[in-house]
Amino acid sequence: MLFLGSNIGNLTDELSSKFIYQLGANLAPEDILLLGVDLAKSKEVVLPAYNDSKEIIAKFNLNLLTRMNRELGANFDLDKLIHQPEYSEDWIAKSFLTSTEDQEVRIDSLDTSFNFKKGEQIHTEISRKYNDTIINRILENTEFEIKEKITDSRNYFADYILERQ
């Protein structure tokens, strides 16, 4: 089975463990899972990726509100929000949209309004970064064992070859 990319990084470690357990429940002993992950890196490497000069990640996150405006009848003023990424010591990158002023946002499909204070944040994205310790902890309650780890030349990304026991 193949599960590439950082999609698993959008889950908590607990949900990742449950997800991988469920994958294993559908495999036979000695079947292989190739799991691609984004490896833990320094803040100096990660933060610029989430705060790039072309604002690709900012636009990606603001697009969530653009779609809410279009599809749910919301009235978010994108000019009143700024993108702010964070990277914590526990290897988790998060993106927030922060209100630059007090504002009220109406969402017609919910028939309600929300008030945002200046500085209040909307959490839009999470991206877990991994190392062997974290992967082993996630695999503890699954039937998988690491057979091999393949990394790029900078050790930024890894493909773990996992075998179901």
Residue by residue, what is the 3-state secondary structure of the chain? CEECCCHHHHCCHHHHHHHHHHHHHCCCCCCEEEEEEEECCCHHHHHHHHCCCCCHHHHHHHHHHHHHHHHHCECCCHHHEEEEEEECCCCEEEEEEEECCCEEEEEHHHCEEEEECCCCEEEEEEEECECHHHHHHHHCCCCEEEEEEEECCCCCEEEEEEEEC
| Contacts of residue 79, Cβ cutoff 8 Å, sequence gap at least 6 | none
Per-residue pLDDT tens listing for the chain (165 residues): 888 766 899 999 999 999 999 999 999 999 999 999 999 999 999 999 999 999 999 999 999 999 999 999 999 999 999 999 999 989 999 999 999 999 999 999 999 999 999 999 999 999 999 999 999 999 999 999 999 999 999 999 999 999 999
| Contacts of residue 18, Cβ cutoff 8 Å, sequence gap at least 6 | none
pTM, full prediction = 0.85
Tell me what pLDDT residue 89 has. Answer: 87
Pairing of strands 103-107, 112-116: antiparallel
Tell me, what amino acid is at 107?
I
CA angle 19, 22, 26 (to 5 degrees): 140
Tell me, what amino acid is at 3?
F
Q: What domains can be seen in the chain, in order of their start residue? A: 1-40+130-165 (3.40.50.150), 42-128 (no CATH)
